[in-house]
Amino acid sequence: MANTKSERPVAESQTMMTEMVLPQHTNALGSVFGGVIMSWIDICGAITAQRHSRLPVVTASIDYLQFVQPVFIGWTVNLKASVNYVGKTSMEVGVRVDAENPRTGETFHTASAYLSFVALDAEKKPTSIAPLKVETEAEKRRYEDAKKRREARLKLRGR
């Protein structure tokens, strides 16, 4: 069945989220546990996917996550998520994580991730979602890159 839902622009579902690094988030070195940042990435990505699909979503995969620099106690973590690609029932969301040292005001890239989410209907079964409307050159580039990553994911799964 063809998707009859109207396209939704990337900007409509983008999410910005901010967290403060507290003692319970850190290891013995005073830097954030990777799993804590992964959790924040998953939450930020899920909010974005839900905004796009207007449906409940589940995380299907995190096929890329790179930590670039550590983040320390007392610092601020800013996450920005955007839908990069939409298939029939799934979508790829890219999340960029930047850290901010409140003492110096310096901000820097600390992690990036790509996640796949599947939209669910009332019976918790995968359901079709609105296509993505890509408008800017950056959105078009991210869409094409995400399409290639999707093909690689499907190939890995033997599909």
Please report, for residues 1, 48, 64, 98, 109, the alpha-carbon distance to residue 68 in angstroms, rounded to integers and kept in the order given: 42, 23, 13, 10, 7
Tokens of 63: 């096929």
pTM of the model: 0.92
Instruction: In whole angstroms, give the CA distance from residue 145 to residue 127.
Output: 24
Instruction: In whole angstroms, give the CA distance from residue 28 to residue 2.
Output: 53
Walk me through the domains of the chain, giving residue ranges and CATH numbers.
Answer: 8-156 (3.10.129.10)
What is the pLDDT tens value at each position of the chain, 159 positions in all?
Answer: 445 589 999 999 999 999 999 999 999 999 999 999 999 999 999 999 999 999 999 999 998 888 999 999 999 999 999 999 999 999 999 999 999 999 999 999 999 999 999 999 999 999 999 999 999 999 999 999 999 999 998 888 886
